[in-house]
Amino acid sequence: MKGARPALRYARAVLNLAKETGIEEAVNLDMQLIVSTINENEDLQTMLKSPVIKASAKRKVLNSIFTDKVNAISLGLFHLLEDNKRMVMLQTIAAHYSIIYDYLKSKDIAKVTTAFPMTKDLEEKILEKVMALTGNKTSIENIIDPSILGGFILRVGDMQYDASISNNFNELRKEFDNSQYIPKI
């Protein structure tokens, strides 16, 4: 991923500054807001990536969007990126900040892929199981994918458990393909 190293450096610097002032959790919420806002708005993505639009104009747009919604540290990041002509990296920096923050606070994100949205009861049961397995605080991100037909796929960190129906069908298909059984006619 191009620009991942510099984005990581910026994210660490912002986190260190936020820790010094004691507002790292609030800045984390800001970074999540920035990532989701950019993800949801294609025009904003295009504007940030455009080499034609000046960095000062990009900062003015970001300030108008986020001024009343984020902390001074997050707004200061806009100014720093403008000065260094790295506005295109804002989304990556914000995403890296959240990853580093979660690691610092021993939080995991359990990505649960299901065919249908999960119920609150099921979410609570999964959170309990993941907490027992990892020992870390966990939040759930539910990904809806109808192609798995049913069941679920659970990913936490580098661990994955696939209990989807589509996986079971694939395993069964492999067994039949590898079978040496030839029926008598």
The pLDDT value given to residue 2: 61
Which helix (H) or strand (E) segment holds residue 147: the answer is none
* pLDDT above 70: residue 110: yes
* pLDDT above 70: residue 185: no
| pTM of the predicted protein model | 0.65
The pLDDT value given to residue 107: 78
Chain centroid to CA 1: 15
Contacts of 30 by beta carbon, 8 Å cutoff, 6+ apart: 66, 69, 70, 71, 73, 74, 94
Q: Where are the beta strands (DSSP E) in 115-177?
A: 137-144, 152-156, 159-162
Which residue type does 116 have?
A: F
Mean pLDDT of 65-69: 90
Which helix (H) or strand (E) segment holds residue 54: the answer is none
Positive/negative CA dihedral, 13, 16, 20, 25: positive
Domain 107-178 architecture: 3-Layer(aba) Sandwich (3.40)
What region, left, alpha or beta, does residue 119 occupy, with left being phi > 0 and alpha being psi -120 to 50 degrees? Answer: beta
Domain boundary assignment for the chain = 4-103, 107-178
Residue keyed to tokens 């589509």: 166
Nearest to 128 by CA among 141, 115, 137, 117: 137
Q: Note the pLDDT tens digit of each residue in 119-168.
A: 888 888 888 888 887 777 788 888 899 888 888 888 887 788 888 888 88
**What's the fold here for domain 4-103?**
Peroxidase; domain 1 (1.10.520)
Spell 100-137 as b/e; 16+ CB within 10 A means b. bbbeeeeebebebbbbeebeeeebeebeeebeeeeebe
